[in-house]
Amino acid sequence: MRFAVYNNRLVPEPLLPSAEKTEPISKLPTIPLQPLNPDFPFNPDLQTILTGKQLLLDELPFELEEIQTHYENGFLAYRKSIELKGKQAICIRCGTKDPAWFASYPCARCKESCTYCRQCLMMGRVSSCTPLISWTGPEPEAQPAERILNWAGSLSKGQKEASSRVVEAVETDSELLVWAVCGAGKTEVLFAGIAAALAEGKRVCVATPRTDVVLELTPRFKAVFPHTTIASLYGGSEDRQKHAQLTIATTHQLLRFYQAFDFMVVDEVDAFPYSVDAALQYAVKQARKQGSALVFLTATPNQKWQQECLSKKRAFVTIPARYHRFPLPVPVFVWCGNWQKHLQKNKLPSNVLNWIKHRINSGNQALVFVPQIEQMEKLLPLLQTLHPDILSVHAEDPYRKEKVQKMRNKEVPILLTTTILERGVTFPNIDVAVLGAEDRIFAESALVQIAGRAGRSKNFPSGDVTFFHYGKTEAMVRARNQILKMNQVGKQRGLLD
Ligand SMILES: [Zn+2]
Ligand SMILES: [Zn+2]
């Protein structure tokens, strides 16, 4: 669409009363904002859909005239979605500046060559002629329920400390990192802080890089906050238009939000793709209100964050022990020679083979992590000669869910996997091995997460964790040190028996 600034207002071409010079929105020097007219009878449906969002015209099921009258009465704002600075383009929605992400096409809407962002294309195309629309009127009034939190569980000592720090972060609108070991029970640590925010009518978001986690958290939060409106957002979810006090979303979905949340939680900050994707980190920033509370949750902060914690540059709290008060299983390093060469000859190093045979004979289930799919596919038939029910799984595997379920049902003695199962899955009683722990894919955080799969249940708090390698790496050493350190701190703080 093309626009003109007419009578100090932005007017879309179809609504101009006379012929004026029009431009794609990105080419206009400034877009005037309108003062709020408190007597304007605004449309509450538009308010519901648009509050805290930044949407495209295509995403708003309202007539252009109605949108425009809301703008003219100060209830919404048009912003450029692509900022053009000379030859450089910046995507205002996802923050991308890298020229490689921009492309041009002959656009039917503005009848010019239009620049668009490919980085956030999956959320609908933003181009130099598409405005981002956000609400500037009053927010829908929140009516906090009398009893917000419906949870009868209890917190471990470590969880309690972290929980009160989260409440404090909410009350003082500050930033906090919760560094909780795998199996510490980090979700429960959020309940009191979220309840405190909701009680004040604040809007809360729990964002996570992975759809699986959204799907797992949604029913838990619905049970714990039964009187709160909750939106669950991921690619293809049905809650897109819902205005909710509590939003559980993938970090991708935050690209549609703008200054929405008073309290933002980012779960698994270290997980792919958030950890490597600047656009998602930008999305978190955009989706929060300025000066709002921000809590990060992770079991494995990266080196930089660990340093910042040590040097007291970052506010953090650790939960160094699991809720069941047993220490974390410590990985054992076992040199296995050139295992890839063995695989090529359809063989396995004898110590690896013995480890696997031992699990099969004892009936103890195990996860075996392998760096690459091709290596795993080579290994699978070898192991199936030992036991026909051994399976393998990877990210693109169409039967991924079924296979994980079979593992849960104990129908699979050994499950071979890529890093896809490094986090998020809990089997109560398993041993864990990594074949080729020296591979670059096994970063410190991946190895800590993998080791964290063992000993999760209080009935089976230990578990064997073996890293088979062809040359120890720094990541391996750092991962083991991190686990040892957490066990030591847990002991000092009286969190272990
Ligand atoms: Zn973009
Ligand atoms: Zn265009």
> How remote is the CA of residue 103 from the centroid of ligand 2, in Å?
12
Can you read off the two tokens belonging to residue 294?
Answer: 């921000």
- Verdict on whether the full-model pTM lies above 0.85: yes
Query: Which of the pair, 102 or 209, is modelled with greater confidence?
Result: 102
What pLDDT does 203 receive? Answer: 96
What pLDDT does 119 receive? Answer: 93
> How remote is the CA of residue 81 from the centroid of ligand 1, in Å?
8
The angle formed by the CA atoms of residues 12, 16 and 19, to the nearest 5 degrees, is 120
- Residues sharing a CB contact under 8 Å with residue 222, sequence separation 6 or more, in sequence order: 230
> How remote is the CA of residue 8 from the centroid of ligand 1, in Å?
28
Give dist(CA 106, CA 112) in Å, integer: 6
% of the chain exceeding 70 in pLDDT:
100
CA neighbours within 13 Å on the CB side: how many for 447?
33
What is the b/e burial string over 32-68, where b = at least 16 CB atoms within 10 angstroms of the residue's CB? eebeeeeeeebbeebbebbbbbbbbbebbeeeeeebb
Query: Residue 119 CA: which ligand is closest?
Result: 1
> How remote is the CA of residue 97 from the centroid of ligand 1, in Å?
9
The angle formed by the CA atoms of residues 194, 200 and 202, to the nearest 5 degrees, is 65
What is the average per-residue pLDDT within 205-229? 92
* Residues 244-268: tens digit of each pLDDT: 999 999 999 999 999 999 999 999 8
Judged against a pLDDT cut of 70, whether residue 3 lies above it is answered with yes
Give dist(CA 13, CA 110) in Å, integer: 10
* Residues 315-326: tens digit of each pLDDT: 999 999 998 999
* Residues 284-310: tens digit of each pLDDT: 999 999 999 999 999 989 888 899 999
Distance of CA 349 to the CA centre of its chain: 38
Judged against a pLDDT cut of 70, whether residue 386 lies above it is answered with yes
Q: Would you tell me the crossing angle of helices 444-451 and 474-492 to the nearest 10 degrees?
A: 50
Judged against a pLDDT cut of 90, whether residue 485 lies above it is answered with yes
What pLDDT does 318 receive? Answer: 95
CA neighbours within 13 Å on the CB side: how many for 161?
18
* Residues 395-439: tens digit of each pLDDT: 889 998 899 899 999 999 999 999 888 887 788 899 999 999 999
> How remote is the CA of residue 47 from the centroid of ligand 1, in Å?
25
What pLDDT does 400 receive? Answer: 86
- The total number of residues shown for the chain amounts to 497
Give dist(CA 341, CA 348) in Å, integer: 9
DSSP, collapsed to helix, strand or coil, labels residue 226 as coil
> How remote is the CA of residue 267 from the centroid of ligand 1, in Å?
23
> How remote is the CA of residue 20 from the centroid of ligand 2, in Å?
18
Sketch out the chain's domains with CATH numbers.
Answer: 2-135 (no CATH), 157-319 (3.40.50.300), 332-479 (3.40.50.300)
What is the average per-residue pLDDT within 270-274? 72
* Residues 355-378: tens digit of each pLDDT: 999 999 999 999 999 999 999 999
Judged against a pLDDT cut of 70, whether residue 273 lies above it is answered with no
> How remote is the CA of residue 72 from the centroid of ligand 2, in Å?
23
Query: Residue 25 CA: which ligand is closest?
Result: 2
Residues with CB under 5 A from ligand 2 (ion): 107, 109-110, 114, 129
> How remote is the CA of residue 255 from the centroid of ligand 1, in Å?
9
Query: Residue 115 CA: which ligand is closest?
Result: 2
Task: Yes or no: say if 254 and 284 are a contact pair by the CB < 8 Å rule.
Answer: yes
Query: Residue 22 CA: which ligand is closest?
Result: 2
Mean model confidence pLDDT for the chain: 93
Query: Residue 13 CA: which ligand is closest?
Result: 2
What is the average per-residue pLDDT within 61-82? 96
| Long-range residue pairs from 97-100, CB within 8 A, at least 24 positions apart, any chain | none
> How remote is the CA of residue 76 from the centroid of ligand 1, in Å?
21
